[in-house]
Each structure stands twice: as structure tokens, then as C-alpha cells.
């Protein structure tokens, strides 16, 4: 049986370095492209941070997903 997924508010120490190495000190946000532009699909910002704006690049197709780094609140 699969293990339960932990809450997004719990940060696993082994993954902190990956975020720092990518420059994502405050977490990230996932954006999905649709007919009328980019829409926030998932907020993975760490505590005290908020999603940055949508991607600057235009979407290539409906359903495309892009990640952007979050910023301090």
C-alpha cells in the first residue's frame, strides 16, 4: 500500500538544498496556460512567501505547466 503524502507545510530537510541550489529560497508556484492566459495551478510557497507573477513567456499550448520561484511576502 502506498505511503500517505505529507502536508505541503512540512519541509523535508533532505530537499531544502535542492531548492536553494535552484535559487528557490521561498518555494515555487506552478502556472497552467489556458485559452485566456496563465492561471495559478498550485502554490508551493514556503511560510512567509507568496507566488511571484505568472511566467513572462507566452504559453505554447493549452495545458502547458511552468514553474516560477516564490518571493518573500
Q: 19 Cβ partners below 8 Å, 6+ apart?
A: 25, 27, 28
Residue carrying the nine cell digits 521561498: 26
CB atoms within 10 A of CB 24: 19
Q: 32 Cβ partners below 8 Å, 6+ apart?
A: 38, 39, 41, 63, 64, 65
* Residue 49 grid coordinates: 512567501
Instruction: Please tell me the pTM assigned to this model.
Output: 0.67
Express each pLDDT in 25-71 by its tens digit.
Answer: 788 899 999 999 999 999 989 899 999 999 999 999 999 999 888 99
**Domain residue spans in the chain?**
13-72
Q: Could you say which DSSP state residue 24 is in?
A: -
Express each pLDDT in 3-37 by its tens digit.
Answer: 544 444 455 554 444 544 456 678 889 999 999 99
Amino acid at each position: 500500500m502506498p505511503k500517505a503524502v505529507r502536508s505541503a507545510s512540512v519541509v523535508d530537510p533532505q530537499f531544502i538544498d535542492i531548492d536553494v541550489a535552484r535559487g528557490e529560497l521561498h518555494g515555487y508556484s506552478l502556472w497552467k496556460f489556458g485559452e485566456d492566459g496563465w492561471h495559478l495551478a498550485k502554490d508551493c510557497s514556503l511560510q512567509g512567501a507568496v507566488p511571484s507573477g505568472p511566467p513572462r513567456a507566452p504559453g505554447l499550448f493549452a495545458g502547458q505547466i511552468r514553474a516560477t520561484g516564490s518571493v518573500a511576502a
